[in-house]
């Protein structure tokens, strides 16, 4: 049976999986991290099985005394003799007694291994056997700072959502992101993974920005190193001041980036760099939690650049549209733009 066909019970009885959870080495770690990355639909099941395995202890291997060994071997020999009497002489020639005994003894040893690995598992009931996750949602117009269990900090932008464990299991630090966030990851010897758009961003200790926009994804690295793994098996490593852009069709490109434009939002700095009207509209709606509509047409060539720190909505609108000749009207949470002519 392939691992893609496994359910939780199958994972619990798979020795290679158990080895990865209990005593991971380079081979098991590489295989399972790669496999989970390629099959994100199985991640929850894998985490559940791993949590169960960590919550049990393995009984000591049953001791086989000298007396017990003699009894078992004597039983095997007698069973072999009885079987041989019922068979022809030619059969006994091809399968001598010592071979029969060896087969039985090998089977007995196999049973002992099975007992040790599977039957001998004794459950230990911990305070909490299931991984508890937290879902944090930030509405438009708001921003949030989250401190994770390992003291890493996450700046969650407006209109974003993040799921993360309340407490990290040893060696298993991860979050699942929708939207945009800036991460300051504490280095503790274990990797930290961010899952977004079927992509894994894997780091140790670093600071970086992750942004989902429509069906595209961008990762901008400020410090440290980042490895990005997509669902097609591609791996890309980033150095500081590099940004990876992944399109909906899976194509990606690596470029430099303007740190203030990309990460300024976490310090409440609103930045426009030759922004189109559509981009300005989208940023204002998300930044202030308002709805923007227009009664007139705006030229496709219209661009705007500007920087605002902790400014009110009205001051930003005044600065943006004073050069365009357009006017604006604010009522409740709605902004209407119009041409006064």
pLDDT digits (tens, 9 = 90+) for 245-274: 998 888 889 999 999 999 999 999 999 999
177/109 same-domain check: no
Cα 147 from chain centroid (whole Å): 18
Cα atoms in the 13 Å half-sphere on the side-chain side of 291 = 5
Whether residue 128 lies inside any domain: the answer is no
Structural contact between residues 227 and 208, judged by C-beta atoms closer than 8 angstroms: no
pLDDT at 303: 87
CATH number for 214: 2.60.120.1440
Where a domain ends, among 262, 279, 304?
A: 262
235/292 same-domain check: no
Give dist(CA 266, CA 72) in Å, integer.
71
> Is residue 142 predicted with pLDDT exceeding 80?
yes
Give dist(CA 298, CA 227) in Å, integer.
41
Lowest-pLDDT range, 4-8, 206-210, 271-275?
4-8
99/190 same-domain check: no
User: What total of structural domains would you count in the chain?
Assistant: 4
Q: Which domain holds residue 10?
A: 3-55
Q: Kindly give, in sequence order, each residue whose CB lies less than 8 Å from that of residue 103, ignoring residues fewer than 6 positions away.
A: none
101/154 same-domain check: no
Question: pTM for this structure?
Answer: 0.61
pLDDT at 327: 81
258/275 same-domain check: no
Where a domain ends, among 262, 296, 328?
A: 262
Tell me the per-residue pLDDT of 81-120, one tens digit each, with 9 for 90 and over. Answer: 554 444 444 433 444 544 544 444 445 445 444 444 444 4
End-to-end Cα separation, the chain, in angstroms = 72
């Amino acid at each position: 049976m392939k691992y893609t066909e496994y359910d939780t019970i199958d994972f619990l009885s798979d020795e290679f999986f158990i080895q990865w959870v209990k005593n991971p080495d380079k081979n098991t770690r590489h295989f399972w991290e790669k496999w989970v990355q390629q099959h994100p639909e199985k991640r929850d099941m894998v985490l559940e099985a791993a949590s169960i395995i960590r919550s049990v202890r393995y009984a000591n291997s049953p001791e086989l005394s000298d007396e017990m060994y003699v009894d078992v071997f004597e039983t095997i020999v007698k069973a072999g003799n009885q079987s041989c009497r019922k068979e022809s002489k030619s059969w006994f020639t091809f399968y001598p007694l010592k071979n029969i005994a060896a087969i039985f003894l090998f089977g007995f040893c196999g049973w002992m291994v099975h007992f040790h690995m599977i039957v001998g598992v004794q459950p230990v009931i911990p305070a909490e056997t299931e991984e508890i996750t937290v879902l944090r949602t930030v509405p438009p117009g708001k921003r949030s700072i989250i401190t994770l269990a390992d003291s890493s900090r996450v700046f969650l932008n407006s209109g974003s959502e993040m799921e993360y464990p309340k407490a990290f299991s040893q060696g298993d630090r991860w979050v699942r992101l929708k939207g945009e966030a800036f991460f300051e990851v504490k280095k503790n010897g274990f990797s930290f993974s961010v899952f977004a758009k079927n992509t894994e961003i894997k780091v140790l200790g670093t600071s970086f920005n992750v942004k989902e926009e429509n069906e595209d994804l961008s990762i901008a690295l400020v410090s440290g190193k980042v490895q990005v793994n997509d669902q097609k098996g591609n791996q890309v490593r980033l150095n500081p001041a590099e940004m990876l852009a992944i399109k909906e069709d899976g194509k990606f490109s690596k470029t430099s980036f303007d740190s203030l434009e990309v990460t300024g939002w976490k310090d409440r700095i609103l930045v426009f760099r030759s922004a189109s009207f559509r981009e300005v509209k989208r940023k204002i709606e998300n930044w202030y939690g308002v709805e923007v509509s227009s009664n007139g047409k705006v030229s496709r060539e219209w661009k705007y650049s500007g920087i605002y720190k902790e400014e009110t909505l009205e001051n930003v609108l005044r600065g943006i549209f004073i050069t365009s000749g357009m006017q604006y009207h604010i009522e409740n949470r709605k902004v209407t733009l119009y041409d006064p002519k």
